[in-house]
Amino acid sequence: MAAAASSSSSSPQTDTCLNFITHLLKALKDAMMNVFFHDEIPEPLSPPIASSTRLKHQVFLSFRGEDVRLNFVAHLLKALKDTGMNVFFDEETLEKGEQLSQELSRAIAASNLSIIVLSVDYASSKSCLAELSDIMHRNDTQGHIVLPIFYHVDPSHVRNLGGSFKKSFNGHDSNRLPQVQRWKTAFAEVGKLKGWHIGGGKFDRPETEYIKDIVEYAIKKLMNRKFSSASAELIGIDDQKKKILSLIEQKDSRLIGLWGQGGIGKTTLSDVIFNEICHEFKGKCFLLNVREKFKTQGMESLRKDLLSKLLNQEIHVDTPSIGSTLIQEMLNNKRVLVVLDDVNDSEQIDCFGVKQFGDGSKIIVTSRDRQVLKNGGVDKIHKVKKINDNDSIQLFSTFAFKQLNPAAEFQDLSKKFVEYAQGSPLALRVLGSNLYKKSRKEWESEVDKLQEYGQPKISQILRISFDELDELEKNIFLDVTIFFKGSFREDVEKILSCYKGVVCGISNLIDKCLLDSRKSRINMHEMLEEMGKDIIREESIDPGKRSRLWSAKDVYQVLRYNKVSSCCISILFIFVSLCDFN
C-alpha cells in the first residue's frame, strides 16, 4: 500500500514503527524470497497477464503511514527481498479516493501472500481499506494467504472496530460511503486471523526477532502453497510431511507405518497427507481410531464400512478373510488410498484385505507400537518426531493467544509451558487452550500444578498405552519412572533381573514409545513420568500403602511411623540396591 505522506514531524512512535519496517524488510530478503518492489519496476508496466504470470510467489505488503514505511516496513521489505522473493511494495501511488486502482488490484491478484501491517492510522485511509477489502475477498474466494501484523495496536480492537479504529470508521460513515460496511466486515475478519502482535512495550522482544519469525513463516506458507488449506494452517509438520510424501512416491512403499507416542501428531500428519493426495486414487478411505472401533463395532462391521467406501457399494463379508473371488477381483482392479489410524494389533491390518488392493495402492497405518507395524508387514516405518522449539511456541501461542507469538507479559511463562510439552503437539494444544484469556496469576498457578500433578487430559490420552501393557511391562515402566530415568540401560537390566524377561520388557516399552533409549541410557518424556506418578498416587491416599515412593517427605513419614507395607518394602529394597550398585 502506498504510504500516505505526512507533513507533520515524526513522533517517537513513528520512529519505532519505521525502524521495525526496515528490519522486517531485511529479514524477508535474507530468507531468499522474491519481493516485487514497486519503485523498481520499469515504466510503463508490463501487461497485466504477463506480469501476473511472471511474478510467482509474490508478496504484497500493505501498510499505512510514513512513520511505518521508513521504519518497520523498510526493514521488513529488505528482509523479504534478501530472500529472493518478489515483493510488491507501493510507495508512490497515493490514492485520494475510496476506489482501488487497477494496478494495485492486479498486484494483489498476482500475489500468493499478503502481509498487512495494521498500525494505529491504517483504517484512516480509504485506499488502505479498499486494498484490505480486496485482499480479504481473495482470501475467501481464492485461498489467498493473509498474514496480519498488529503493530502497536490491540488485535481485539481490529476484530471489534474499537480503539482508534472506531474513530476512523465513524469518519468514513459520516461521508456515507456505500463501501464502508464492506470495509468494516473485511477489517473485522482480518482481526480474527492469526498473526503477530507487536506491542512495543519494554517487555516485548526486539523487532528484528519478529521480522525473522515473519519471514521464516512467510517462506513456509509460500513453499507449501500447493498443499491443501487444511495443512496450511498446521504448524511444525512441513518437514515430516515431505518425508512421508517422498516415501509414498517410492514404488516399493505400499504399506507405510507412522510410529510414535500418543499425542505426537500421527493422526494429524496422516490426515494432511490423505487430503493432499486422495484425488489421485480411484478409491479412498480414512478409518479413524481403529483401536477403539474394533472394541465397539467389531471387525466385521468395520471391514464392511471400509470395503463399501472403497467399492462404492454395500459389501458384506462374514468370513475371517475376504474369501469372495468377486470382491477380491474388484479390489485388485482399484488403486486406492487407505489410512488405518491408531492400530494396536497387526491382525487389524490383515483383516481389511490390504494385500488385495490394486497396483499402486497406498496404505498408511498409524500406531504407538513399532512391533505391531513390523508384524503387519509394513514396508517403511517413519517415526513421527516432536516439533522444534520455534514451531512449539507458535503452536502454543495459536491456542493460548489466538496469534503466532506470546503476549509480551507472558513470554517467560510461555517458555515454561513449551519446555514442559517437549515438542508434543497434543500438550501444546491442551495447555494453550486451557490458558486462553486467563490472568498471569492463573498462569503461574498452572505452572506450579504441572510440576506436581501434570495435566489430566494429556495423562488420560497417554494412559491408554499403559493400560494395554502386561504386568511385567507395567512394573518396569513404573520402576523406571521413579528410580531409573536417565540410568544406563545395562544397569537397569541388571538391577531389575528379579523380573523374568526384563530385557524383552524394556524393548517392548521402547517399541510402544513409553521409554526411550539414547546413548545407552533409559529415558522418558516428562508427561509420561507425571502419568506414572499419578498411577502410583491412585494406589492409595496413604503413601505407606503405595508400591513406590519418590518424595523424601513421604519416605521419612513412612519409615518414622512404621507405615511400610510389604509391597513398599520390596521397592525400598530395590532403591537401596540401586544406591549400592552405583
Residues acting as catalytic residues = 131
What's at 442, amino acid-wise? E
Residues in the chain: 582
Phi, psi of 301 (to 5 degrees): -65, -40
Please give the Cα distance from 285 to 363 (Å, whole number).
Answer: 10
Residue 514 DSSP label: S
Helix 526-537 × helix 411-421 angle, to 10°: 80
Q: Is 450 left (phi over 0), alpha (psi -120 to 50) or beta?
A: alpha
Please give the Cα distance from 112 to 89 (Å, whole number).
Answer: 14
DSSP-H helix ranges across 191-298: 207-223, 229-232, 238-249, 266-277, 290-296
DSSP-H helix ranges across 250-368: 266-277, 290-296, 299-311, 325-332, 347-350
Angle at 59 between CA 114 and CA 142, to 5 degrees: 55
Print burial letters for 428-445: b (CB count within 10 Å at least 16), e (below 16). Answer: bbbbbeebeeeeeeebee
287 contact partners, CB below 8 Å, separation of at least 6 = 293, 302, 305, 306, 338, 339, 340, 341
Using DSSP, state whether 72 is helix, strand or coil.
Answer: helix
Torsion of CA 533, 538, 542, 543, to 10 degrees: -20
Residue with cell 517437549: 422
How far does the chain reach from its first CA to its final CA, in angstroms? 68
Residue of 92, 90, 82, 93 lying closest to 35 (CA atoms) = 82
**DSSP conformation letters of 369-425:** -HHHHHHTT-SEEEEPPPPPHHHHHHHHHHHHTSSSS--GGGHHHHHHHHHHHTT-H
What's at 116, amino acid-wise? I
Helix 526-537 × helix 456-467 angle, to 10°: 80
Please give the Cα distance from 429 to 118 (Å, whole number).
Answer: 27
CA R_g for the chain: 29
What's at 364, amino acid-wise? I
Please give the Cα distance from 74 to 72 (Å, whole number).
Answer: 5
Q: Are 446 and 434 in contact (CB under 8 A)?
A: yes
